Structure 1
């Protein structure tokens, strides 16, 4: 089949909402280069609006958690088989799997073996744990598109073709955080010292972290009664869970907010939070933070053997040094949390240095991720 780069057939596969947003941005940038391009595969409403002809609704793939995946496994395997068969029939010029690596990478591998060009957009955390997966990834793709610079370095070391494209979130979050506007939007006092508390979005996370965070809030309230605490609840179930815990410690100066986690982070002076992607938002809004994480003893014992990374929070990984305190497992104590929060409040010069370092990282991650991703894909198409 002769490659028609003026009107390429491009396949994209997204399995969840974040991938749908990334995919739509990439499609729009590819359309600017190839106005006659056609898009097939699987995506959600954003990608459909950008012109994707989706083989089946993306929602069929949006399964979270191991037990849920096991329950839906026969259906997921059937959909995967159907998608592979469809793409082998259509013979697209390139196939781009977006995130959801457990679903998309095996598809990419099968198609790559059959001679199709394959790209994976958003690296799995292979640099941090189960590094052996890199061998399988190398056999599955022609190109990896990474959102973060340290990921790209890892692929270069393992001779996997890679392009660092930056993070779309860095383009969406302004370089200057308007703290006063965020406080106004949430109806918070502009003159108070505010501490944001983000115990995570999953029930298990909140169950592990919130009791320690709550005890730390009580200790801080005793010694610093002027502090006010703001907790965004990720959803209705988390709100209920947090309210039940707060009920055991009434009369604390706490405001509970539905959603709006980024606005809360923008409004506060210091953030106490669970490790995870939200720490990247904390970095982008330029706030001092304390990162805590705790899992079950068995999970931790297994993870300790598998994790190869020096740090586990994104701000420290991106800065390549310990800029924010990481309180893990047994290190997550009330005393440690109180001391770490107090340090940011009492040493403004440290907080200022941190903010300037975060700003430099923000600038590095900015610059049109979708544009850079489209550039890398079009170079592969022209090859």
Structure 2
């Protein structure tokens, strides 16, 4: 505990949020060495120096129906976090994504005089646009990572909006600058290298992995295959073990870049990983499957009807095919893969489209760790002329 010194709250409620935070956290600690950081994160943030009040595994839920059953836990956790904020005289909070919890927390932090920085704007342009009013009222600085977002939020009353490099660019910049894409050529006796990315949550892996395996069995009838999978540390090994016989290579989350550099195609759950696939120019079939109740709620509240994957949202067009719910079948998955293999012109056009992703994920050139360190120093009375 640090009741008299500088402290900063960081909240990430999901693995993707932790990855976003990791893109700035280590350098932030270096830039602000006398600040104690505490909050919610995973093992990676803990190893990097974040004092955990809760592990993000405690916050994990998949879909709307699961969230309902965890409401008592969320209320208890929020009250505990607020108590710690007061005990530590915390004056700055960095809330990373996870809008269902963080927007409520932002209001309570603002009421306590805490400077609230919201890192990665919620997709209010897609659903629940009323959240913009809360962002305007509770958040001092909103960071955006999708090209059109800064103008969209600013036009709706959010005063301080900063467009930054997408955290994935920050994380993988070195690898991306030295990366050279490869092309799959069917019929050259080399196996098709296929990477499975079934997700980071128990529920989605349980729904998607069986269809991915069926797809492998279909593909094997026409192509020699080398199948790899990235296993999530947040998913029980029991979900994977009955399928291990199908995998030639097994990677962990930490080896994602190695896996992407070593594959021709990918099958992926919707989400952040689809943008990573696009950055490394891997043609990907995106799949989304959830319970019927979650799907009903999703369709009732979402206005943004076009895309579910970040790869497509960033480019605002269909780059990767998206399969939703009943569309997620081995037949449909294999059809898309075979299309790329049998239509060289379309395949090469896709690879060219993916190159554009690197340009679109760049922001205004803000040094995020230094910006955050300046806010902390400013809030504790040490004004720096580099803060803006």
Aligned pair partner of 2:123 in 113, 117, 125: 125
Structure 1 unmatched runs, 5+: 1-7, 181-189
Counterpart of 2:9? Answer: 12
Aligned pair partner of 1:257 in 250, 258, 261: 250
Describe how 1:167-182 pairs up with structure 2 within 5 A: 167-173=166-172, 174-175=175-176, 176-177=178-179
Task: Judge conservation of contact 2:264–2:282 (CA < 8 Å) in 1.
Answer: yes
Counterpart of 2:95? Answer: 97
Task: Judge conservation of contact 1:11–1:96 (CA < 8 Å) in 2.
Answer: yes
- SS of match in other structure, 2:179: coil
- Displacement after TM superposition at 1:75 (Å): 5.9
Higher helix share: 1
Aligned pair partner of 1:275 in 270, 287, 294: 270
Counterpart of 2:207? Answer: 208
Distance change (3 Å), C-alpha of 1:155 and 1:9: farther
Q: 1: distance between equivalents of 2:95 and 2:23? A: 14
- Displacement after TM superposition at 1:325 (Å): 0.8
Distance change (3 Å), C-alpha of 1:378 and 1:138: same
- SS of match in other structure, 1:130: coil
Q: 2: distance between equivalents of 1:201 and 1:20? A: 12
Task: Judge conservation of contact 1:94–1:116 (CA < 8 Å) in 2.
Answer: yes
Q: Does 1:345 align with 2:341?
A: yes
Q: 2: distance between equivalents of 1:40 and 1:195? A: 40
Q: Does 1:196 align with 2:192?
A: no
Distance change (3 Å), C-alpha of 1:280 and 1:23: closer
Task: Judge conservation of contact 2:92–2:114 (CA < 8 Å) in 1.
Answer: yes
Counterpart of 1:159? Answer: 157
Task: Judge conservation of contact 2:12–2:97 (CA < 8 Å) in 1.
Answer: yes
Q: 1: distance between equivalents of 2:100 and 2:145? A: 18
- Displacement after TM superposition at 1:80 (Å): 2.9
Count of matched residue pairs:
359
Q: 1: distance between equivalents of 2:58 and 2:352? A: 38
Task: Judge conservation of contact 1:199–1:209 (CA < 8 Å) in 2.
Answer: yes
Describe how 1:1-383 pairs up with structure 2 within 5 A: 9=6, 11-15=8-12, 22-23=20-21, 26=24, 38-39=35-36, 41-42=38-39, 54=51, 57-59=53-55, 62-65=58-61, 76-88=74-86, 94-160=92-158, 161-173=160-172, 174-175=175-176, 176-177=178-179, 191-222=190-221, 224-235=222-233, 239-244=237-242, 254-259=247-252, 260-309=255-304, 310-366=306-362, 371-372=367-368, 374-375=370-371, 378=374, 381=378
CA-atom RMSD in angstroms = 3.9
- SS of match in other structure, 2:248: strand
Task: Judge conservation of contact 1:179–1:268 (CA < 8 Å) in 2.
Answer: no
- Displacement after TM superposition at 1:312 (Å): 0.6
- Displacement after TM superposition at 1:282 (Å): 0.7
- Displacement after TM superposition at 1:371 (Å): 1.5
- Displacement after TM superposition at 1:272 (Å): 1.7
Q: 2: distance between equivalents of 1:345 and 1:136? A: 48
Deviation per residue, 1:184-216 (Å, 9 max, x gap): xxxxxx943212222223332233223333332
- SS of match in other structure, 1:323: coil
Q: 2: distance between equivalents of 1:39 and 1:57? A: 13
Task: Judge conservation of contact 1:167–1:365 (CA < 8 Å) in 2.
Answer: yes
State TM-score, norm by structure 2: 0.75
Task: Judge conservation of contact 2:192–2:223 (CA < 8 Å) in 1.
Answer: no
Task: Judge conservation of contact 2:91–2:113 (CA < 8 Å) in 1.
Answer: no
- Displacement after TM superposition at 1:89 (Å): 6.7
- SS of match in other structure, 2:242: helix
- SS of match in other structure, 2:308: coil
Distance change (3 Å), C-alpha of 1:10 and 1:148: farther
Q: 2: distance between equivalents of 1:84 and 1:231? A: 40
- Displacement after TM superposition at 1:281 (Å): 1.5
Task: Judge conservation of contact 1:99–1:121 (CA < 8 Å) in 2.
Answer: yes
State TM-score, norm by structure 1: 0.76
Structure 2 unmatched runs, 5+: 183-188, 379-386
- SS of match in other structure, 1:106: helix
Deviation per residue, 1:296-347 (Å, 9 max, x gap): 2222122112122221111110111011111112323333222210122223
- SS of match in other structure, 2:220: helix
- SS of match in other structure, 2:193: strand
